[in-house]
Amino acid sequence: MNICLIASRSLTYAQRSVRVLAKAGYAAYVMRMPAGMTGNGCGYAVKVSENDLHKAVGCLRQNGFEPKRAYLVDKSERSIEVSI
């Protein structure tokens, strides 16, 4: 199954996002962005299932968060940016 990573501007922002999503019933986790996706190896993301991506982004927006980028990551760890 593919996963989606919602890019976050900081670790704290990612942690807060996960709490909001968990409260709404989504399975979400904080993880480091893969180095190839950030350019300098720094950054955090919120991991959600591909099926939950757009609903999770909507939930975050309803709660005052403004995610800017999201990536679909397949089993071979190739990623593609998806529109949110």
Q: Of 60, 28, 36, 32, which Cα lies nearest the Cα of 44? A: 32
Helix intervals (H) in the chain: 11-23, 35-38, 53-62
Question: What is the per-residue pLDDT for 81?
Answer: 87
- Total structural domains in the chain? 1
- Among 24, 30, 79, 22, residue whose Cα is nearest residue 50: 79
Per-position pLDDT tens, the chain of length 84: 788 999 998 899 999 999 999 999 999 999 998 766 665 556 899 999 999 999 999 999 999 999 888 999 888 778 888 888
CATH code, 17: 3.30.70.1530
Rounded to two decimals, the pTM is 0.85
> Residue 54: which domain range?
3-82
pLDDT value at residue 38? 61
